[in-house]
A and B are shown apart, each in its own frame.
Chain A
């Protein structure tokens, strides 16, 4: 009997593989993933410049563009992707196998992160090179921890969404659609969260993207945050644990329900 850790590891890397290979084999993906988002980021920068907004805001837009790429990846490549996996018949094979769905999702996440890292770094490079945004991290260690924690929390949230797709079909993709737009607003992608009313800002703080970006702005631009940096880091760490644990339970629960209702292999609903 293989150790369960080894199995988890193998399954995760295996599921990551097609995503990474996709980067090399479908170059148009790369184009679509990097050039297009650059356009919208650039548009924001130019508008802010024209309005004479504080230079700090330009930095927000660049950082926001880079981080939102991860959020979109979580929504579409993790959550909604399970729907596609079921349609193609792969989900059945994953469920029937001894590997846990957490490992499969972790593989998707890892593949998605690598993919999105490319897009995010492209945005950063253009921001620094073309728009001359100055970023001076007060602490590289803090920056790295916040970045890693934010990603873990985001992808943990993505795993939670994915579990819903075991039971629901298209309904769940409406949920994803629904989540996409408000998050732009709530997380303050293109402006400081502090301009939001306090109540809204606190709710928004639950979304790891908001907290993560707010913390990064504090570190990178020395701007004033929603909460002090240590609090935000603690908040992120708690989110990671909570989201991943909820995802684990959801997956177990929804898998059982889906087996009972015969939904693991439905092709059309």
Chain B
């Protein structure tokens, strides 16, 4: 059997709670805070695996454990078949990580020197480093800034430079924590395209990525884990997750407004129809019809026409990853406050 690129088994991490300064009554919060709770995952070599979850879900914590920067409190994790607690020094040559919004680097160096420095600590030869740096700067469109001081870069440019840093050491397994955070649309798109290419170049490469952009996760990832409050709520392909979110095929029909008293509720009595909801706009009557099975739409349409409805538009509503996310997590990405688990 093939060794998984990443595997975790009941991986758990707690943090000591930080005492709030100025709290009038000292709350006894000795109970540790659970940032990761029994996470079991498996990522196959060659996969582009995504972690999706609200703020404070534990994504970064998971990545820090896998990149040997944080020890698990309990449970186990393996990267390229090596245990993170027992063999961090064997894992390190094979991995790299970039996180969005990181402030690493030396302001006094220029972009090229800075990337060279972080290639050197992986033992990359000068010639190889130069080739890879040139290529990566081209990919992110930073070639004209190669000689600029890091301290003179804009936030996004700095972010692009750090993105390059992850690739110039040619890692077998790469971790990207919100790599497109704060990047403009074009830059984010070329980064996504490159990430795909990079994986295809060599099938042994694996990439684990976190993001808050649903479209990005949907477009990019082979499989996704949805994490909330330190737990994995679901783990599947984006397609499967979307199907999970929408149990029944859903159609939206817009009818021209009319004075008829019928409210189309009798549609629900048609065979194959699950539920009908009606919401009116000034310009149309909007019916959302969910069906037990898709073919039932064939009997819905004639019935509507027979009742005097004039159909303006008819479309099948495809589920989005966001629907899946809300279904699983119970709220959207934005509405979560500080992400503290109860």
Contact = CB atoms under 8 A, between A and B. Distances in A.
Interface in A89-107: 89-90, 92-99, 103-104
Interface in B90-120: 92-93, 95-97, 102-106, 108-109, 113, 116-118, 120
B165 to A, nearest CB: 8
B253 interface: no
Contacts of A14: 116-118, 120-121
B56 to A, nearest CB: 15
B93 to A, nearest CB: 4
A18 B67 contact: no
Given A88-B103, A90-B104, A265-B64, A17 B69 contact: no
Nearest to A103: B121
B69 A89 contact: no
B15 A25 contact: no
Q: Which of A10, A13, A89, A103 lies at the interface centre, i.e. has the most chain B CB atoms within 10 A of its CB?
A: A10
Nearest to A267: B103
Contact of B121 (A21, A99, A260, A261): A99
Interface string A227-269: 0000000000000000000000000000010011110110000
B133 to A, nearest CB: 14
A1 B90 CA distance: 11
Given A15-B117, A17-B109, A88-B104, A259 B122 contact: no
A88 B68 CA distance: 19
B120 A6 contact: no
B108 A93 contact: no
A77 to B, nearest CB: 14
B122 A97 contact: yes
B312 interface: no
A17 B113 contact: yes
Given A15-B117, A96-B68, A26 B108 contact: yes
Contact of A18 (B92, B97, B108): B108
B267 interface: no
Interface residues of B, number: 30
Contact of B69 (A2, A18, A265): A265
B304 interface: no
B182 interface: no
Contact of A104 (B68, B102, B121): B121
B195 interface: no
Given A14-B120, A18-B106, A22-B108, A98 B92 contact: yes
A57 B105 CA distance: 45
Contacts of B71: 256, 259-260
A89 B102 contact: yes
Interface in B56-72: 64, 67-71
Interface string A79-120: 000000000111011111111000110000000000000000
A88 B109 CA distance: 15
Contact of A264 (B69, B117, B121, B122): B69
B294 interface: no
Contacts of A1: 93
A95 B69 CA distance: 7
B89 interface: yes
Interface in B155-195: 165
Contacts of A10: 120-121, 123
A219 interface: no
B121 A98 contact: yes
Contact of A96 (B69, B109, B117): B69
A95 B173 CA distance: 17
Contacts of B165: 93
Nearest to B14: A262
Nearest to B88: A259
Contacts of A264: 69-70
Nearest to A29: B108
A6 B70 contact: no
B104 A89 contact: yes
Contacts of A26: 108
A7 B119 CA distance: 11
A98 B89 CA distance: 6
Nearest to B149: A25
A97 B92 contact: yes
A124 interface: no
Contacts of A18: 106, 108-109, 117
Nearest to B15: A262
B117 to A, nearest CB: 5
A11 interface: yes
Interface of A: 1-2, 6-7, 10-11, 13-15, 17-18, 21-22, 25-26, 88-90, 92-99, 103-104, 256, 259-262, 264-265
Given A15-B121, A95-B69, 4 more contacts: A14-B120, A96-B67, A97-B121, A256-B71
Interface of B: 15-16, 64, 67-71, 89, 92-93, 95-97, 102-106, 108-109, 113, 116-118, 120-123, 165
The 10 closest A-B pairs by CB, nearest first: A14-B120, A2-B123, A89-B104, A99-B121, A98-B93, A7-B123, A97-B121, A259-B71, A18-B106, A98-B92
17 contacts: A7-B123, A11-B121, A11-B123, A14-B116, A14-B118, A14-B120, A14-B121, A18-B109, A88-B104, A89-B102, A94-B121, A95-B68, A96-B68, A97-B118, A99-B121, A262-B15, A265-B69
